[in-house]
Structure 1
């Protein structure tokens, strides 16, 4: 998979919660699977640098929270593969968890903004990875990020027809 520059980069913040969305056009051989596309992407500069928040890219030496997964230890099988409806269910399950306080309203605002974008998506394959699926000591998580973030998850979509990969990082610190 060859990726070009970013097509779109959006940062949406509500209080201490945020969505960092980056789209990458790509070129592929038709024989390459979506699993291979995502696996190649998460090991690329597009993932490790280009998809970072603007403040982190602008000041890389400053102490900011960064990605919470040790990508060298993550496998494509760690992701949950789903469709557009499965992503919606995953997000609605989070908003419906009973442990929310007043910060539920902030997540709800993020959700509304995300669904404005999500509704543009077609019948793509989506890949979800959440820090909550791992034990705190799991080698696939990076400290201090993994214990500072209240939630941290990734949603990656692959649109083969438009040759577009969309990376969405959700954080709450």
Structure 2
């Protein structure tokens, strides 16, 4: 889970049977202040829960499931019979608020997503007022690259706050 914050979506995935959930946030303090449920997960469920902190431009060096092929634009899977590297599912929430970080975040997802069947789910505001980012700017970054397909899963517009969207991205 990139930009995990409190990590609730990752905790949910874990409770639903994920064999491994890796939480990433820029701030190392997140692990120390994560909800008590996260620490209970580490001790009560026989699967892998790990925390990583760092900038999106460097954190792939720490993550255990990173795509290792030289050509990240290739959606080919590894040789037949060999498992693909990468994460099956990447969850992101409220990570696309800064225009200057969109390309770095996108490059990280390409390095970390399993090929050819992995999926990225991003929940975000359509526009982050005052900082210029938003879900549509990230979608444009993905579409300009031409490597991944994008589809809008849900849009929440309650009339009293900013429109929020959930997007899915996967390799073409």
| TM-score, scaled to structure 1 | 0.24
Which structure's relative contact order is higher, taking Cα pairs within 8 Å and 6+ residues apart? 1
| TM-score, scaled to structure 2 | 0.24
